[in-house]
Amino acid sequence: MKKTFFTAIILVFLTFFISAQERIETSNALLESLVKDESVVGASASYSVNGKVTWEAATGYADKDKKGEFTLNTEVRIASIVKSMTAIAVMQLVEQDLLDIDLPIDTYIPEFVQKGNTKITTKHILSHTSGISAYKNKKEGENTVIYMSLLDVYDVFKDRKLRFEPGTAYYYTSYGYVVLGILIEKVSGLTYEAYMQKHIWDKAEMTHTGVEKPGIKRENATTLYQRDRKGKIKEAKTNNLTNRVPAGGLYSTANDIIKFGNAIINHTLINEETYELMVQHHSLEKVNNGYGFGFFLYGGKENESNIIGHSGSQSGSSTQFFVIPSLKTVIVVMANTSGASREVSTVAGKLIDISQRK
């Protein structure tokens, strides 16, 4: 009787162990395929369930010429994942009654130029329905000018014609989130960087996240790579991100982004009521994935807030971040190669299912 009981216990343990091992091996193989298929030079990924990291891995090179390995400590440009952080920072100010998202934004930023018949509000900008344009050309997108302040960046596009009357359509733009960075500075009295450090990164215990600054070399920074339309990878041309810091000018690591995701789930950064407002569909109807405030809504029209997150693509990086509150699961994939957004997002999507295997 005892032998049968203990045999059953051992079999249950082995089944669990084999299943867990299979999950890890499958996750590793999926991440490694990005390098083997020559989609990226190096990448890291991680997922957590119930607040615990159950898998993390890195593969490929941070510096291919020097054979420098890509590790979990390698810092990657996170691109537009920054928008989720900026949006949360704005909503923290709303929670403190320092900001009303329905008021014209020039209420808080006197320098802001209103051009439409309808006044642009913070809500419009959070949801990409303001009509503010994007980069005018490739030169602006691959910026080499060093801007000393966010207001200096605003000077670049402040007099440009709106694409549409605010609130009537959706148009994704990083310049809008530059304005939100100015808003944070005006309302909080802190620089954007100082505010994010104190109220986002420190609160979420993110110790490897910060503003990328031109001319400053970081020990764990990766070399930047670009994959062209023919699939050939080479080093990306030098550019700087001072024209988009609140929209895509930060670096981080996979596990710091996991911490950020868990801080969202645990309402460490914003309360539940604010979170629910942020993940409503604010981007009107003609959008493939709905958009809330700083988050894409990936769950499909019937379950739009079941999976939230953000993708990112810029010179030297392709990233994907998912948060699934109902499963208390966070997933991130980050690569040091631009032109690989589809491949990186596909891997992240497959990791959703794998992360739930027991």
210 inside domain: yes
CB atoms under 10 Å from CB of 309, counted, come to 24
What is residue 130's three-state secondary structure? coil
pTM of the model: 0.93
20 inside domain: no
Tell me how far apart the alpha carbons of residues 207 and 120 are, in angstroms, rounded to a whole number.
35
Q: Return the CA Rg of the chain.
A: 21
State the residue range of the domain holding 326: 35-355
Q: What is the pLDDT of residue 281?
A: 85
Q: What is the pLDDT of residue 160?
A: 96
Q: What is the pLDDT of residue 6?
A: 44
User: Please, what are the averages of pLDDT over each run of 10 residues along the chain (358 residues)?
Assistant: 47 49 93 97 98 97 97 98 98 98 98 95 97 94 96 97 95 97 98 98 98 94 95 93 98 98 98 96 72 89 78 97 96 98 97 89
4 inside domain: no
265 inside domain: yes
Q: What is the pLDDT of residue 304?
A: 58
125 inside domain: yes
7 inside domain: no
CATH number, domain of 136, equals 3.40.710.10
Nearest Cα to Cα of residue 139 among 156, 161, 158, 155: 156
Please count the structural domains in the chain: 1
164 inside domain: yes
Nearest Cα to Cα of residue 327 among 52, 21, 22, 24: 52
DSSP characters for 212-262? --TT---TTBPPPEEE-TTS-EEEPPP---TT-HHHH-EEE-HHHHHHHHH
Q: Which residues contact 84 (CB under 8 A, 6 or more apart)?
A: 260, 294, 295, 309, 310, 321
Q: What is the pLDDT of residue 300?
A: 66
Which residues is 311 bridged to in the sheet? 320
Q: What is the pLDDT of residue 282?
A: 79
Spell out where 14-157 has E strands: 42-49, 52-63, 68-69, 76-77
Q: What six digits make up the tokens of 236? A: 């990306």
Q: What is the pLDDT of residue 286?
A: 58
Nearest Cα to Cα of residue 42 among 72, 16, 13: 72
pLDDT 10s digits, 82-141: 999 999 999 999 999 999 999 999 999 999 999 989 999 999 999 999 999 999 999 999
Residue 90: left if φ>0, alpha if ψ -120 to 50, beta else—which one? alpha
203 inside domain: yes
